[in-house]
Chains A and B, each alone.
Chain A
């Protein structure tokens, strides 16, 4: 009888533990933003192809920021200024746009981002990228990218699966914003190399695959402590000089970036295969990245790999990934850990 009771107790605790993984934690309060409106929330950029993605995600972000006690200028207050200065894309900002927004809104930080994937289906999927840029330095101060599908939370016996997009977005956005503001406070004293991400080439059939990868990459690098230049600055240069940086970066562009901004690393690459999860098919992606030393234009690191949602399976289906955003993030994490070793050696030799 005792044995039976113990078994029941063990099972109860196990199930409770598995279920507990999906519940949201308590909100933090971020004192830096609770006194004055130093932050402006820019309208998010829609890469998902779903018309309702921005409205629904922005509303939730607003609610979460309020719950954190953060004072900020809302997207609705910013839209007239965007119209006034004809700032068309809020997905990335040019230096001139950042200056105008700083003057008009009198804010130190701008929060930008994109909804990369927004799929309301039996296995819902969401991917968001958010970043906070300093309006004085144009550098990304903190960034986060989160992607998940409902089945990514599947534990033993199929427990923990999220089948409603609303629930998934609540969880993912809360985690994203919590991380974004925690990192902003943590990274203030860190000194890591500065980097520029040249938008990744897209050779897939999926229109926004390159932008999604670039967004996840830059948030990941910024999150890791690198000082990342706002990608709109590079886009601005390309537009002004009627250039298409497809296939890599040329030396005149590199010289321009070096002259205007103190850059250590250039990160670029391409995405060649992008297949979101459909039915029982696992998501797949194939990505190639290279890193250049911005001072001498030498390629110092290259990393190509294919990632598949089934690769991370541990046992009995646990650990499989059904979100293409998650597997792209796994590739980037893998890239970062390998690059860390290589770059330490390279910069030590250079000194």
Chain B
């Protein structure tokens, strides 16, 4: 009887930990036939901001480049140069480049792939004295020869987990949540 009770308690605690902590898993697309070792040099097109927070896209783009650089998987083009070349295309919606624009930007920057994306949500939910930062990021990687998408991921991260909610540990800042979101998104591409 005792063993059954203990097992039940363990199952309840485990399900609480798993159920409340993680949120939704990232949605991923990875091109099954593409040879990723072909990509050596990439550029990150400034992310588009679809959230209400001013500067969210700038911050996320910078953190994304930083994490990409830290992963040592690709050589990353200086963002100032990427911005100059993108500005030449005259586009406003940087997450939606046409096939021709992707090919021409890729040629000018000398890269094999471009990262493009948008920050769909960057908000802080307040409830009493506690706050909860939420970030949703949609990123994709397109190769610059044909403009085809070879990787895509959507990820949402929140600052609240089970431990933080129950034990009242300090809330994660927006920056920490954004960094986690970027890290976990990139982890689906670079192990």
Contact = CB atoms under 8 A, between A and B. Distances in A.
Q: In the complex, which range does the number of interface residues on chain A fall in?
A: 20 to 34
A292 B78 CA distance: 8
Contacts, number: 63
A345 B65 CA distance: 22
Interface in A295-324: 297-299, 302, 304, 306
Nearest to B54: A203
A299 B81 CA distance: 12
A286 B62 CA distance: 12
Interface of B is mostly: helix
B76 interface: yes
A248 B175 contact: no
B78 A249 contact: yes
Contacts of A249: 78, 80-81
B84 interface: yes
Contacts of B82: 248
A270 interface: yes
B59 A306 contact: no
A245 interface: yes
Interface in B71-117: 75-76, 78-84
B84 to A, nearest CB: 4
Nearest to A250: B84
Given A245-B80, A251-B81, A288 B46 contact: no
A272 interface: yes
A203 B69 contact: no
A30 interface: no
A250 B81 contact: yes
B175 A286 contact: yes
Contact of B69 (A270, A273, A297, A299): A299
A249 B175 CA distance: 24
A201 B62 CA distance: 11
Interface residues of B, number: 22
A302 B76 CA distance: 11
Interface in A253-274: 253, 268, 270, 272-273
A247 interface: yes
Contacts of A306: 173, 175
A272 B175 contact: yes
Contacts of B78: 248-251, 292, 297, 299
B19 interface: no
A298 B74 CA distance: 12
A302 B173 CA distance: 21
B70 interface: yes
Contact of B76 (A251, A253, A270, A299): A299
Contact of B62 (A251, A288, A292, A297): A288
Contact of A272 (B59, B76, B84): B59
A4 to B, nearest CB: 45
B27 interface: no
Nearest to A243: B84
Interface of A: 198, 201, 203, 245-253, 268, 270, 272-273, 286, 288, 290, 292, 297-299, 302, 304, 306
Q: Which 5 residue pairs of A and B lie closest in terms of their CB atoms, listed nearest first?
A: A248-B80, A250-B84, A248-B79, A249-B80, A203-B55
Given A248-B79, A272-B175, 16 more contacts: A203-B55, A248-B80, A248-B83, A249-B81, A250-B83, A251-B81, A268-B80, A272-B55, A272-B58, A286-B175, A288-B63, A288-B66, A290-B66, A292-B78, A299-B78, A304-B179
